[in-house]
Every structure is written in structure tokens, then in C-alpha cells.
Amino acid sequence: MDLRLLEVSPTGAERAAVDGLLGPPASGWDGGERRTGATGNVARGGHRARARRDQLLPVLLAVQERVGWISPGALNYACQRLTVPPADAYGVASFYALLSLEPRPSRVVHVCDDLACRCSGSGALIAELEDRLGPEGAVAEDGGTASAWFRSPCLGQCDRAPAALLTIAGDEPEEHVLAPARGALPGLEGAAVDPVARVPQQGEPGLRLLRRVGRVDPRSLDDYRAHGGYAALRRACELGPEGVIRELVESKLLGRGGAAFPTGRKWDAVARQPARPHYLVCNADESEPGTFKDRVIMEGDPFALVEAMTIAAYATGCAHGYIYLRGEYPQARGLLEHAIAEARRRGYLGEDIVGHGFAFDLEIRRGAGAYICGEETAIFNSIEGFRGEPRNKPPFPVDEGLFGKPTVVNNVETLVNVLDIVLEGGSAYAQIGTDASTGTKLFCVSGHVERPGVYEVPFGSTLGEMLSLAGGVRGGRSLQAVLLGGAAGGFVRPDELDLPLSFEGARAASVTLGSGVVLAFDDTVDLPRMLMRIAAFFRDESCGQCVPCRVGTVRQEEALARLLGGRGRGDELALIAEVGRCMRDASICGLGQTASGAIESAIGRLGVFAGKG
């Protein structure tokens, strides 16, 4: 490819960040020393260089981490190393909220101002930051370090709200989760203590997915094995690939990412594909506002995910797997990286896994601040080094997924369910829960409840039972509404607490379980303001590809703003409904299709704005 590069050079730190990931350049062609003379004058361009396109996002993240922003010189050098056109790379970099194309100070605080944190003091936290660092995005000297703060969508720390993510760029970059981030923001002083994943039900009998969380040492493979780890892989190898899929089909496991597709069917479809290679992708881009269940599993029981993915790869014939992890989960990343390295060292990943003659390895790919990358085809584009825009379906991932090959893509929670299915058999697993929704489900309970956290219950428990588990409404106040399923879900009323939490129960009540969000709002909450936050979220997170979602999310927010400001034209409710219907019907992907759901449910089900518009 004949690229026209920019006439700017990277700084030493920028070059080091890129080379740290890609290794030193081999020739003048890709940015190294030009060697004149007959020997050693080689050019490594062409297909081999272009085949490394999937390293683009990791390289951009490496520069961002080290330097704090992506300068033209850094982008240019990344382009030269990977044979990517600069305009193309700029398009990719500008897609992600955690990457900056303008200079930024080394220390940046991303403060969650999403739904759950708003229930727990994010407003006060933001006021404190404004006081200390000035307005959002402004550069301030703070304790001798240039700093800035930005608002962020949900950081997935809703059980310890309010949350912030602190990033410090440098030769040894740091990332810390500050949760709860109260008082004098201790993390800013450099004394951040990264919190440990805990679940309120810890140690209770009957836990399955959460049984090890808080009890096992997440950094010890031996401890994992002492708690029953890697028994499922052994059993899977006895069953054989077809046997594993048979058990999975019998278990009637449905995907936990929100779409509830039968996992067994998905695996079977990929296993049967003659095209090779097959890929396995674990969707750990958990970004639905109010969702933190996958983080708790990854931080509390990381080896379980590695084992489950190994079984998935064995059953579906994948030699390579990816965990696409949201960029805002530094702790999960550290623990998973350690778990993968340990598993590899001990022969649980690699060429000849536990002597069974099958090969599988996996790697983590970090997101960079884009909710849309949790969409099952946007995730492929993001891994491949393109903008995280969803693809049109068909073709479906089982036919043409990552790199155009048959791909299994499953959510973290879905995968971890596989361990028990393999161990105890599909039919035994199917006894748990309801007929149509088998097994247990993780619910992310947050907002105005006494004990927010991830709770595991069999399908069919009621919403009321869920709230009781979490200790009911905080401070004995009364419940105003529950947001079920996240921003892409919908609201339910306090008189609907007998709603059975199963896929069929939710469907019958015209709601969705989505990613398992149960966000409680007490009677002090200004619900219309929360609706504005949801509308702003979808506007910010739309990829911008298709018209219904790109413009529809904007018109929806504007109509809401008129209603909130009391300066409506009288047709706002009709407009919201009409725009919503178009987004639902004509958008490319699930983001647009669900972008009006919560808002319309608040209007229709809760009667917010009754008598207006």
C-alpha cells in the first residue's frame, strides 16, 4: 500500500510506547533506521504488515497511557508501523472516548455521572472537583501535577458508588478505580487503594456462579483448583466436543448478554462450520448503565472465565480466543492477565492443553470507551482495528464473524454457566429456574437500596424478592420506580414487584431483563432528569452510522429537554413516540432499537409527563 504519511516525527516516549507493543522496527520502511548498502536492505510492507491492523487500537491505547494523548507524530508513527492510512487511524482514534486527539494533562479523573452514581452523591463529587480543578476539561495544577476531570458514563462500579477512574500517564502509567470516591478524593493524592470485589451473598449455600467470589484467591491457580477449578475442563475432555454441545443444548442455556439466544445452538453452528479458523470472543465490554456483574466475576474468580473459555474453544474448534474487556476495568484486566499467564505456565492454555492434544490460547483486548463495542459485531470491528461500528446482519457471527470467520461470541456470565453444565449435566442444570429460563441469573442491584451488589438467584424469583435481598429501599423511604435491564431496558412501577424475573415473565410484562440491572429510585429522585441522562447516554454512545439512531437520539433528547424546561410545543410526547418507533424498526443494531425503550416506558408505564405534550 502506498501510504502518504505526515511529515512529523514521534517523540521518544511515543516511539517507545509503540515499539513496546510491536517490537523495534525492522527497517526504514516501517520507521526504523534506513540501511544503505547491499545487505540488510529489506522492506517489510505488503500483506504481512497490513495483517497487523488489529494492533491499531492496542497501539493507540499504549500511546494514550504513556503520553496522555495521541499527537500527530504518534499517530503517524503507528500508521507507519502498521501500514494504516493516517486519515483512517484518525477516524478510529476519534471514535473512542478514552483516547484524546488534543493535548491532555497527565492526570485525568473520569467521574461517573450516570444513573446509579447520581443516586449516591456523584453530584457532590463533581462539585468538589469543579472547586478543586475548575470546569470539566480545564487543565489545572493540582499538587504539582497537571490535572483535568471529565464526566463519564457508567463505570460499572454501581455497588460502591459514586465512582471515578483515575488515569496517570507516564513511563509507568497508572489506572485506579476510586469507589466509593467520597470526601477529599484520596486517590488524587496518589494513595489509591483499589477496592476488592465482594458480593453481599458471599458464602451463602446455593450460590453457583458466585460460589468462589470473595472466597478464592483470584491470583492463585492452586486455590482455584482447591475450590473445584478445572474439574469441568477434565469432564469436558471426557465428553468430547459433541458431548459438551449436547449437554449445553440440553441445559437450554440462554445468552446472558441481553439477547437471550440459545448458547447451544450458537456453539453447534460454529462447530459445524467447515471454514477455518474459528474464533472465540468473550464479550466483557460490560457498559450497560447499572451493570457490574461481569466485573465481579472477572475480579473475584478470573480463572473460572479462562476455564470456561477453554471449554468453549474445545467444543467449537477455536484455537484462538479474545476477551474484549471494557477499558474502564483496570483491576479486571490485571487479574485476568495474571490468570491467563498462570494458566499458560501450567499447561491449561497453549499447545497441548492438560495432555488432551488440543491447542488454545487467548488474549485480552481492551476497549477504549465505547458502549457500542459491546454489540456483537461492533466488537469484531473494534478488535480488527476499525471503528466500532456494528455490521449489518445477516451474515451472522456464526457464519462470518471476527476476521470474516465463524465466531462464537458470548458474554462473561453466559460462559461461566458452562462450568456447572459440563460438571453436572445439561438436564440437571435445566431443573434450576423455570422451564424456559434455566439456571440462575446474576442481578446488579443498585441505586437507593440498603445493600447494593451482585445477587444470584434462580430464574423466576420476583422483583420484590430481589429488592428484599438487597435490604429494601435505603433509609426506609418509599420506592418510586425500578429501572430493569439498564438504559436499554425499561421502568417498572412499585406496584409491579411481583414481576417474575425470567425471560418469559419479563416478555409477558413487556419489559426485558437485559443485562440484569435492577436500579431502584426512591421518592426523592427527579425522574425526568434521569430520563435526560438516559437520552444523553444514547446520543453520546450512538456510533453515528445509521440515520434513525444518529439523529433520532438527538431529537429524542431535544424533545425531552423541552418537556423538562417547560417550553414544549405540545407535540413532544407524540414526537418521542414516533422517533422511537423509527429507531426501533429501522436502526442497524440493538443500540438504536432500544434507545427509546426506557424513556417510552417512563412515559407510558410511570406516567412521567402525564398531562404534558
Partner 1 sequence: MGEMQHLTARRMVDLEIDGEPVRVLEGSTILDACRGLGIDTPTLCYGETLRPANVCRVCVVELEGARVLAPACSRKVEPGMKVRTDSERVRHSRKLVLELLSSSVDLSTTPAAAGYLERYGAEPERHGPPAPADPGRDRRRAGHHEEPDGQTAATAASPIKIDNELYVRDYSKCILCYKCVDVCGEQHQNTFAIAVAGRGFDARISTEYVAPLPESACVYCGNCIAVCPTGALMFTSEHELRAEGVWDEARQERTDTICPYCGVGCNLTLHVQDNRIVKVTSPDDHDITRGNLCVKGRFGVQHVNARGR
Site string for partner 1, 469-508 (x = CB under 8 A): ----------------------------------------
Q: Is 103 in the site for partner 1 (CB under 8 A)?
A: no
- What's the half-sphere exposure (Cβ side, CA atoms, 13 Å) at 221? 17
Q: Which of residues 250-279 bind partner 1 (CB under 8 A)?
A: none
Residue 575: how many CB atoms within 10 A of its CB?
18
At residue 241, the 3 state secondary structure works out as helix
Q: Which of residues 153-172 bind partner 1 (CB under 8 A)?
A: 153
Show Cβ contacts of residue 351 under 8 Å, excluding neighbours closer than 6 positions: 359
Stretch that binds partner 1, among 165-173, 258-266, 347-355, 568-576 (CB under 8 A): 568-576
Stretch that binds partner 1, among 85-93, 169-177, 256-264, 602-610 (CB under 8 A): 85-93
- Nearest-approach distance from CB 382 to partner 1, in angstroms: 12
- Nearest-approach distance from CB 174 to partner 1, in angstroms: 22
Q: Of 323, 383, 360, 320, which is closest to residue 52 (Cα–Cα)? A: 383
* Closest to partner 1 by CB, 2 or 131: 2
Helix then strand then coil, in percent of the chain rounded to 5, is 45, 15, 40
At residue 398, the 3 state secondary structure works out as coil
* Closest to partner 1 by CB, 493 or 562: 562
Stretch that binds partner 1, among 15-23, 123-131, 411-419, 553-561 (CB under 8 A): 553-561
Stretch that binds partner 1, among 18-26, 186-194, 273-281, 555-563 (CB under 8 A): 555-563
Measure the CA dihedral 506/509/510/516, to 10°. -30
Site string for partner 1, 4-23 (x = CB under 8 A): x-x-----------------
* Closest to partner 1 by CB, 59 or 335: 59
Q: How far is CA 382 from CA 285, 349, 399, 402, 589, in A?
A: 11, 24, 18, 10, 15
Give the DSSP per-residue string, 201-224: TTT-TT-STTTTTTTS-TT-HHHH
Q: Is 308 in the site for partner 1 (CB under 8 A)?
A: no
Residue bearing cell 449445553: 248
- Nearest-approach distance from CB 373 to partner 1, in angstroms: 11
Q: Is 554 in the site for partner 1 (CB under 8 A)?
A: yes
Show Cβ contacts of residue 225 under 8 Å, excluding neighbours closer than 6 positions: none
* Closest to partner 1 by CB, 1 or 138: 1
- Contacting partner 1 (CB under 8 A), which of 399, 465, 504, 558? 558
Q: Is 88 in the site for partner 1 (CB under 8 A)?
A: yes
- Contacting partner 1 (CB under 8 A), which of 553, 594, 596, 601? 553
Q: Is 304 in the site for partner 1 (CB under 8 A)?
A: no
- Nearest-approach distance from CB 582 to partner 1, in angstroms: 4
Residue 1: how many CB atoms within 10 A of its CB?
10
Q: Is 551 in the site for partner 1 (CB under 8 A)?
A: yes
Work out the angle at residue 575's Cα, subtended by the Cα atoms of residues 573 and 577, and round it to the nearest 5 degrees.
70
- Contacting partner 1 (CB under 8 A), which of 490, 555, 598, 601? 555
* Closest to partner 1 by CB, 319 or 547: 547
Pairing state of beta strands 145-152 and 107-112?
parallel
- Nearest-approach distance from CB 255 to partner 1, in angstroms: 16
- Contacting partner 1 (CB under 8 A), which of 96, 230, 279, 443? 96
Instruction: Give the count of residues interacting with partner 1 (CB under 8 A).
Output: 69
The span from the CA of 542 to the CA of 595, in Å, is 9
Residue bearing cell 489506572: 175
Q: How far is CA 459 from the centre of its chain?
A: 23
Q: In this structure, what are the phi and psi dihedrals at residue 377, rounded to the nearest 5 degrees?
A: -105, -30
Q: Which of residues 36-75 bind partner 1 (CB under 8 A)?
A: 72, 75
- Nearest-approach distance from CB 284 to partner 1, in angstroms: 19
The span from the CA of 242 to the CA of 353, in Å, is 18
Site string for partner 1, 584-613 (x = CB under 8 A): xxxxx----x--------------------
Q: How many helices (H) and strands (E) does the chain have?
A: 23, 14
Stretch that binds partner 1, among 54-62, 89-97, 127-135, 206-214 (CB under 8 A): 89-97
Stretch that binds partner 1, among 304-312, 413-421, 453-461, 563-571 (CB under 8 A): 563-571
Pairing state of beta strands 361-366 and 318-325?
parallel
Site string for partner 1, 522-541 (x = CB under 8 A): ----------x---x--xxx
Residue 67: how many CB atoms within 10 A of its CB?
25
Work out the angle at residue 5's Cα, subtended by the Cα atoms of residues 67 and 68, and round it to the nearest 5 degrees.
10
* Closest to partner 1 by CB, 271 or 543: 543
Q: Is 80 in the site for partner 1 (CB under 8 A)?
A: no
- Nearest-approach distance from CB 547 to partner 1, in angstroms: 5
Q: Is 451 in the site for partner 1 (CB under 8 A)?
A: no
Q: What is the DSSP letter of 526?
A: -
* Closest to partner 1 by CB, 420 or 572: 572
* Closest to partner 1 by CB, 246 or 533: 533
CA dihedral sign, ordered 221, 224, 226, 230? negative
The span from the CA of 286 to the CA of 323, in Å, is 12
Phi-psi region for residue 274, left (φ > 0), alpha (ψ -120 to 50) or beta? alpha
* Closest to partner 1 by CB, 118 or 441: 118
Q: Is 203 in the site for partner 1 (CB under 8 A)?
A: no
Is residue 36 within 8 A of residue 365, CB to CB? The reply is no
Type and span of the H or E element at 164? strand 164-168
- Nearest-approach distance from CB 558 to partner 1, in angstroms: 4
At residue 502, the 3 state secondary structure works out as coil
Q: Is 127 in the site for partner 1 (CB under 8 A)?
A: no
Contacts of residues 40-47 at CB distance under 8 Å and 24 or more positions apart, as own/partner, are 45/1, 45/83, 46/1
Work out the angle at residue 422's Cα, subtended by the Cα atoms of residues 416 and 425, and round it to the nearest 5 degrees.
125
- Contacting partner 1 (CB under 8 A), which of 245, 534, 543, 598? 543
Burial class (CB in 10 A: 0-12, 13-18, 19+), 269: middle
* Closest to partner 1 by CB, 267 or 537: 537
Q: Which residues bind partner 1 (CB under 8 A)?
A: 1-4, 6, 72, 75, 85-92, 94-97, 100-102, 150-151, 153, 369-370, 387, 392, 394, 532, 536, 539-548, 550-555, 557-562, 565, 567, 569, 571, 575, 578-579, 581-582, 584-588, 593
